[in-house]
Amino acid sequence: MLSGIMIGVITVAFVFNFISGFHDTANAIATAVYTKALTPDKAILLAACMNLAGAMVSEKVAMTISSGIVNIALEQHVILAALIGAVIWNLITWWLAIPSSSSHALIGSLIGATIVYSRSAGTIIWSGVIKKVVIPLFTSPLIGFVIGFFFMKMIFNIFANWSQNKVNKTFLKAQLFSSALVAYSHGSNDAQKTMGIITLALISGGVLNSTAGVPFWVKVACAATMALGTFTGGKRIMKTMGGGMTKLEPSSGFVAQTASALVIEAMTFFGIPVSTTQVITTSIMGAGSAKRVSSVKWGIARNILFAWIITLPVSMAFGGGFCWLIDLFV
């Protein structure tokens, strides 16, 4: 039987998932819209459908969230505080049109809330945080940049004798595939984070056994909520992602999407809750740099990098602050 506060936790978790859907819509579709491979409406519909499909595939990332971050049983209000902290940070960065990481916002907020609740940093599985959060924070964007750079160089060499018009037409069609692939990978990684937090709430509330895995209804609900969020919002960050950092052409748009999808799928396979925002952003930068380093607007890139760096500590502060506040009334 679900308690009132558990229902509240699950509701806020779905709100977070919905916001993640429209907050990260630009990840999958911005390049395709910017290069005119797809209209915004068609791109959003495609992203929503592929997010839905991707979210149903695996639960490795979900299990990392539910059992790989903290080593104590949490009260429901602690999980609620973590979700509120993540939602607030996502809304702030969405309003400022900064493509920050929903993943790191959720994980950071969960860490902050847990530390305040337990009054000890020893309740955090720091080895898991370092291995599956901190290290990928730096390595996955770097890998995305490198793959985007060398993949773009390869495209230049293969299609060197083609006319620009023919290249554009070819990759406009190819971007239908790459847009679907990156949206699918986004769903397979990002939706699982909410699955994990809901599973954690069910375990802590005694409704679910810690070894039971993610319930099917949680998978379906999270997949549908993210798809709905993707479908209903998502144009504030699109300009920054699609053309704010570098001028994209159909070929570089295809490369950026494909490179990022490969990295995200690899991380999902290992159960790592990677930031799809970071990977796609650096893949765009890598593809742009392959043509000309000066074509990348490094000032905007520095602002995005700053948002990445501060998301974990700021969301920890939000999660901890809301936990302290709720503790006053619980």
182-200 pLDDT per residue, tens: 889 988 888 788 888 898 8
Separation CA 278–CA 127 (nearest Å): 22
What's the pLDDT score for residue 246? 61
- CA dihedral sign, ordered 261, 266, 271, 274: negative
What's the pLDDT score for residue 115? 96
Give 227's contacts (C-beta < 8 A, 6+ positions apart). 21, 48, 49, 51, 52, 55, 187
Which candidate, 44, 111, 97, places its Cα nearest to that of 243?
97
- CA dihedral sign, ordered 243, 106, 140, 22: negative
**Residues above pLDDT 70, as percent of the chain:** 89
Is the predicted pLDDT of residue 238 greater than 70, yes or no?
A: no
Which candidate, 105, 106, 132, places its Cα nearest to that of 267?
132
Separation CA 2–CA 202 (nearest Å): 8
Separation CA 229–CA 252 (nearest Å): 27
Q: Which two tokens stand for residue 143?
A: 């890998």
- Conformation bin of residue 98: beta by default, left when phi > 0, alpha when psi is -120 to 50: beta
Segment 223-246 mean pLDDT: 64
What's the pLDDT score for residue 1? 58
CA distance to 4, 56, 189, per residue, from 186 (Å): 31, 12, 5
Domain boundaries, given as residue ranges, for the chain: 4-327
Angle between helices 4-23 and 76-95 (to 10 degrees): 20
